Amino acid sequence: MRHGKTIVLVTAALVTLLCVAAPAFAATLTPVEELGKALFFDENLSLNRDQSCATCHAPEVGWTGPTAAINAHGAVYEGSDPGMFGDRKPPTSAYGGDSPVLHYDEVAGLWIGGMFWDGRATGWTLGDPLAEQAQGPFLNSREQALASSDDVIAAVKLSTYAGLFEQVWGPDSLDADVAYDYVGLSIAAYEASSEVNPFSSKYDAWVAGKAKLTRPEMQGFRLFMNKGKCGNCHVPPLFTDFTYDNLGIPKNLENPVYTWNSIYWVDPGLGGFLKSMAEPESVWAAEMGKHKVPTLRNVDLRPSPDFVKAYGHNGYFKSLRDIVHFYNTRDVAVWDPPEYAATVNTTEMGNLRLTAVQEKAIVTFMKTLSDGYLPQGR
């Protein structure tokens, strides 16, 4: 159970929120953040010069997948190498900068921290999981697909921001052995900046005393934190606790992974990563099928009401209404079987006994987490 850890995290989180709750509508970036932004949006840092980080993590949809037609089906995006696809939907690249280095909390009995759905950007090398995550897609054959870190640096040297790179990291830094580390650290700085993490939602305005939640929004918040048990893992103000869980989500059979791999393929999540690190079976087996708890900030941010967003590590769900109904009724209604059954969380979801009105209220509350809210009078 998470409840003891959650209380500690909530206390710390509320203190943090006092410093960041005021809505931010404009951001002035530092030089390293400006550099990270240039790297983040540079399509030349890919095999065919056609894919940047923003291709799968676009600001207008909450820094996640920006193509409704893709989200409505397999929910995974094609890489720079045509015909190559990932096997998980893009998570948001915002509000992840506080994720700690991956570690096992003996008291809570949980793995905490790291980045990627499976935690493989541990932070063990650079001390920053977000920076290590930023390095990954450039060299992933199913994403930006460059052959080596040297290829990334060669492209940066030809960029319009090469001078900024050396301004930030020092003369000849592009020729340094750690140049690729500087790339990751720069992108992480931008992803942790106030431009990407403005804390400018209606929820933030409400916490700051600059907005009022409607009666359904307030009802949803109370249900979110109590009967719905959402707040056990999606802890304010970041609306994640950086842990891993198996929600029992079914396979998304529209994912191309089942074409090039096998219909029997199962995403091992954190357990698969720990197994690859030669952890003993007593460690990795309990984590199979578990994926990182995502932040719910911007979970409903979309460019138009009919824009389709995907939810879950594999994008199986296509609306907040559906995934909330799944959380509520998974164990008492007819659903497709879980992708990985052995480790499904049966204590915090599956039979919450929420009414349809209560489910709707929780969704209504989650819509207050979208950035860009303008309090009255502004």
pLDDT at residue number 202: 98
pLDDT at residue number 5: 38
**Angle at which helices 356-366 and 320-329 pack, to 10 degrees?**
130
CA distance 255 to 287: 23
Q: How many whole angstroms from its chain centre is CA 336? A: 25
CA distance 23 to 185: 26
> Residue 173: what residue type?
S
For residue 13, pLDDT beyond 70: no
Alpha helices by DSSP H, 226-276: 257-260, 269-276
Kind and range of the H or E run holding 1: none
pLDDT at residue number 26: 53
pLDDT at residue number 346: 96
Q: Taking the chain, what is the end-to-end CA distance rounded to the nearest angstrom? A: 43
For residue 21, pLDDT beyond 80: no
Alpha helices by DSSP H, 76-207: 129-135, 149-157, 162-169, 179-191, 202-207
Query: pLDDT tens digit string along 101-134?
Result: 999 999 999 999 999 999 999 999 999 999 999 9
- Does residue 237 have a cis bond before it (omega within 30 degrees)? yes
- At which residue do the structure tokens 């995403």 appear? 267
- Is the whole model's pTM more than 0.85, yes or no? yes
Residue 61 or residue 16, greater confidence: 61
- Give yes or no for a contact between 271 and 284, defined as CB atoms under 8 angstroms apart: yes
pLDDT at residue number 260: 87
pLDDT at residue number 28: 93
For residue 12, pLDDT beyond 60: no
- At which residue do the structure tokens 């929820």 appear? 203
> Residue 190: what residue type?
Y
pLDDT at residue number 375: 80
Query: pLDDT tens digit string along 136-155?
Result: 999 999 999 999 999 999 99
Query: pLDDT tens digit string along 197-216?
Result: 999 999 999 999 999 999 99
For residue 323, pLDDT beyond 50: yes
Query: pLDDT tens digit string along 292-321?
Result: 999 999 999 999 999 999 999 999 999 999
Average pLDDT, the chain: 93
Band of pLDDT at residue 291, cut at 50, 70 and 90: very high
